[in-house]
Amino acid sequence: MPDMRLQLALNVSNMDAAIDYYSRLFGTRPHKRRPGYANFAIDDPALKLVLFEVPDAKEHLNHIGVEVLDPDQMPTVRARLSDAGVLTRVVDQSTCCHATQDKLWSDGPDGLNWEWYTITDDAPKARPNDATCCASNAEPDRQTPGDVCCT
């Protein structure tokens, strides 16, 4: 199995307070920070912690994911999810969360979205319609990369 780390994406009401707390909790500063968005690349435990500033969010859990650290391993992951019958959507070269990514989505039986992704460009040029969310919201048969990434 490829090298991976679990991703936990949270909605937070106050970005500064959340960054302060999680920096102290995990002993590291954010890997990336943008307005309304931050992520931590934590080594121990192996975790990608993503924060979205959503002051009035009803849920604190945005989604769960798995970051595949080597882009060359995504075909292996895709085949495994497809063979298991749990692959819901595929989106290649989606610019989202301030990075360009290839994504695989699986919708759990209780509606929890699982995102399997690899970063192909960690610092893409910003586009005017980029947003800071990475949730799966569109109908599976009518999606563009932006539908699966940003709302």
Tell me how long the chain is. Answer: 151
Q: Nearest to residue 43, comparing CAs of 64, 67, 71?
A: 67
- Do the bridges between strand 4-12 and strand 61-68 make them parallel or antiparallel, or are there none, so unpaired? antiparallel
Read off the pLDDT of residues 22-34 as tens digits, 9 standing for 90 and up: 999 999 999 999 9
Report whether pLDDT(140) > 60.
no
40 sits in the region (left: phi over 0; alpha: psi -120 to 50; else beta) called beta
Quick one: pLDDT band at residue 110, thresholds 50, 70, 90?
Answer: confident
CA–CA distance, 136 with 43 (Å, rounded to integer)? 27
**pLDDT for the residue 93:** 75
Sketch the domain layout of the chain as residue ranges.
Answer: 4-149
CATH class held by domain 4-149: alpha beta
Read off the pLDDT of residues 58-109 as tens digits, 9 standing for 90 and up: 999 998 999 999 999 999 999 999 999 999 999 887 776 667 888 999 998 8
- Do the bridges between strand 32-34 and strand 61-68 make them parallel or antiparallel, or are there none, so unpaired? unpaired
